Amino acid sequence: MEKVAHKELSYKITGLLFKTHKELDRFRNEKQYADYFEELLKQAGIKYVREYKFEDQQYGQGRVRCICDFIIDDKVILEFKAKNFITKEDYYQTKRYLITLNLQLAIIVNFRQVRLAPKRVLNSNFLKNI
């Protein structure tokens, strides 16, 4: 069993994220980062789905429509942010996406930071559902 979830794919994704941040700097909006990143994915020949829409059943709230920014190679959820800092709500949102879609790994990236620091989020329920 791998000790690092999707190690090679994560490495490629992270490299493209750093390139995006270097080229666009830190004062753009999420859509601009996503557009540029999508072009890099195409150039690299990496399979992806952008703005994947799905519904999630939340306790006491009924069905909620969710949109994750990218799903890379049917394995990794990628969430883009362009704000001062990542909040608990951002983390919980990403965790909910992982559990609902039964994927193992997500990466949250905040392009507003001076130094890019992608955050890996793991689905602890993933192995139980195989």
Closest listed residue to residue 40, CA positions, set 65, 61, 14 = 14
**1 domain-assigned:** no
Q: What is the dihedral of CA 99, 110, 47, 36, to 10 degrees?
A: 150
Task: Give the pLDDT confidence score for residue 124 in this predicted structure.
Answer: 86
Task: Give the pLDDT confidence score for residue 113 in this predicted structure.
Answer: 94
**95 domain-assigned:** yes
Question: Which residues form the domain of 68?
Answer: 7-125
- Indicate the SS3 state at residue 8: helix
Q: Whole-angstrom Cα distance, residue 68 to residue 76?
A: 11
Domain count, the chain: 1
111 has pLDDT over 80: yes
pLDDT tens digits for range 32-56: 999 999 999 999 999 999 999 887 7
The domain spanning residue 113 has which CATH number?
Answer: 3.40.1350
Closest listed residue to residue 75, CA positions, set 8, 1, 3 = 8
**130 domain-assigned:** no
**86 domain-assigned:** yes
